[in-house]
Structure 1
Amino acid sequence: MKISIALCTYNGAQFLQEQLESIAFQTRVPDEMIVCDDLSKDNTLEILKDFASKVSFPVTIYINEKNLGSTKNFEKAIGLCTGDIIFLSDQDDVWNPEKVEKIENQFSTSPSTALIFTDAELVDENLKPLGYSQWQSNGFNQKEQDYFIHGKFIEVLLKRNVVTGSTMAFRSEFKKLIFPIPDAWVHDGWIALLIAFASDLNLISEPLIKYRQHHLQQVGAGDEGLTIYQKIHRKLTQLKNLESDYSNFQPECIRYTLAYKHLVNSRFPSIKTNKIPLLKARASHYCIRSHLPVNRTKRIPLIIKELLNMNYHHYSEGISSIGGDLLRNNSEIK
């Protein structure tokens, strides 16, 4: 099968060379690399052009006419890939030498699998191991992993995204399903969720990339590396704020409503139509939470209904979410 790598860059010169070298030294090199640069102002392009002139596989570099942002830049890069399997690559990680080979082998032995993702070793900006993996950091535990293995990946993904783009590869035929990617979504969460509603997802529990943590990142790795004091302080702050991400409820409502409408209107042949009501329920749950009455007493019937429907269990954090919705200050209700 033909392997494509979709790499997106933006002012990535500080760490890019190590990532490129890790791709060049794969035991199974790609058949093509598509690079979309989002108008870098450093010497990212010089590094890319030098790399392209030295490797055995074709590297095509596209420079955007305007800044697209991460999600739309990945959409562009994915759309330009011509391979059977598309790997997504960030500009600041380092791939283990056997990453492509191991993922390709799993696709070969499992024709029904449409998307595969792996764990990642968390490292600092100098590639020094932090002593724990990404899955440990974000709480993707053995129970949830078993859900994936036994085909219950939709249930996991409707609660939260556990699939990171830089560890992901998927079959290119699903481009028709995932495009266009809405601006409201991060590309990896959208891709994983939609493909889950049309085919099978699988995982490799081995960390196959070094996932670099540094001050330039937009997304961190969680609180696994914090001291006990720092963890307690964070939890107390969250309790004080009563789910400080409450302002995200309306965006969550919008995001999952978009996903629901996208699947309902899609003509992709293998969509699991019997599962789509779960997506609608997920969207509805956050729409309800984002519009709870200012009066706490009037919230109770709505909260009880969501509780009895198991929506707090399936789509939120259970009791802690219920407590937050009951006790939140009136000024926080929008």
Structure 2
Amino acid sequence: MTFVRPSVGVALCTYNGARYLQAQLDSILAQSEPVDEVVIGDDGSSDQTMALLQVFSSRAGAMGIRVEVVQHARNLGYILNFADALQRCRSDILFLCDQDDVWYVDRVATYLQRFQADPGLLLLHSDARLVDGDGVALGGHLLEVLGVHPAEVELERSGRAIDSILLRNFVTGATCALRRSLLAEALPIAPCWSHDEWLAVVASLRDGLDMLARPTIDYRQHGNNQIGASRRGFMQRLRQLDLLDQQRRQRTAERLLGLDALLQQHGVALAPLGFPGLSALAWRMAWSRVQLYRRPDVSARWIAHDAPRLLARLLNVCLAGAGWIGVRAAAAGARAGWRMPR
């Protein structure tokens, strides 16, 4: 049987990123397994970004790489910009790419190997090494700083990705690659969701989400990231809870309603029949998280760090429309999770 290599595309979004962009562009061209196309959506840059992209287009074209640069007349924002760039790509495997990171030389080759080995894999992400604005290592990895427990990763990799994603997202777009076929189900992005979160949720419903436990990029932290990674103390995390701000509560309600609609569309039942709609989300969050808390490898310290997030998310579900039924569902889910055998 003749082996056909999947074509590889890159969806890169830029906005006034000239300071760091060149290093990222160089790392794309330096891949041990070359890419076939790069689609770049620029959100109205006023610095030297477009000049850098013009030079890059010539370099990449000379290497046989198709390059499309779209300069939007108005600022779309990074979510719509990525969605537009993804739709313009023609390749089989699509890499999401931020303007300020640096890819490891074997990134494309490593991802391609995983996609070729698993035809059901729809979206693959990885860890990342954190570096400062000058590219100097900060001494930590992305999942470590986010406080992601190996048990959460295990949930994702064991076919229960929805249980890890319901409570929080640790799929970072800059580390993601996906099959183009996922776009037919995942676009348009639901209101109030980021592109990486939504793509991961849709992939998880098809048991098509997985991750590489090692870093494949240097993830630059420079203070102007759209979404960065940093260690936050308890009071900082408390101030950022959606419960404390009316606009953020409304945004969370829209997110949850969009997720509920998606689950119904896919016919996914998260809870016993007595808990429909949003109350099913509350049941499942409590059920899966209490099971995780009971694991012998999950420390009391990590539970103390994570439990406030669980309570906040459950309250958000209740305020979004589940009401007192959601409270009863959460209690029932917690009891069921506690009674599950280890």
The equivalences for 1:72-83 within 5 A come to 72-83=80-91
Describe the SS at the equivalent of 2:59.
Answer: coil
Aligned partners of 1:84 and 1:171 also within 8 Å? yes
1:119–1:302 CA distance, 2 compared to 1 (3 A):
same
Match among 244, 247, 252 for residue 246 of structure 1: 244
**What are the superposed Cα offsets for residues 169-221 of structure 1, whole Å, 9 maximum, x if unpaired?**
11101111111113411111111111211242111011000000012113221
Partner Cα distance (1:125, 1:303) in 2: 44
Aligned to 1:325: none
The equivalences for 1:20-99 within 5 A come to 20-55=25-60, 56=63, 57-99=65-107
Aligned to 2:114: 106
The TM-score, its normalising length taken from structure 2, stands at: 0.78
Partner Cα distance (1:197, 1:278) in 2: 18
1:54–1:198 CA distance, 2 compared to 1 (3 A):
same
Partner Cα distance (2:174, 2:336) in 1: 29
Aligned to 1:140: 148
1:123–1:64 CA distance, 2 compared to 1 (3 A):
same
Aligned to 1:168: 176
Aligned to 1:156: 164
Q: State the one-letter code of the partner of 1:188.
A: D
The equivalences for 1:146-295 within 5 A come to 146-223=154-231, 234-236=233-235, 243=241, 246-247=244-245, 248-265=248-265, 271=266, 273-275=268-270, 280=278, 281-282=280-281, 285=314, 286-289=316-319
Equivalenced residues, count = 292
Aligned partners of 2:242 and 2:249 also within 8 Å? no
**What are the superposed Cα offsets for residues 70-103 of structure 1, whole Å, 9 maximum, x if unpaired?**
0000000000011111100000000000011000
**What are the superposed Cα offsets for residues 296-331 of structure 1, whole Å, 9 maximum, x if unpaired?**
xxx9x67852541337999xxxxxxxxxxxxxxxxx
1:151–1:50 CA distance, 2 compared to 1 (3 A):
same
1:249–1:94 CA distance, 2 compared to 1 (3 A):
same
Q: State the one-letter code of the partner of 1:253.
A: A
Shift of 1:167: 0.3
CA RMSD, Structure 1 to Structure 2 (Å) = 2.7
Partner Cα distance (1:151, 1:6) in 2: 27
Aligned partners of 1:85 and 1:171 also within 8 Å? yes
Partner Cα distance (1:92, 1:75) in 2: 19
Aligned partners of 1:256 and 1:279 also within 8 Å? no
Aligned partners of 2:126 and 2:216 also within 8 Å? yes
The TM-score, its normalising length taken from structure 1, stands at: 0.80
Describe the SS at the equivalent of 2:174.
Answer: helix
Percent identity of the aligned residues? 31
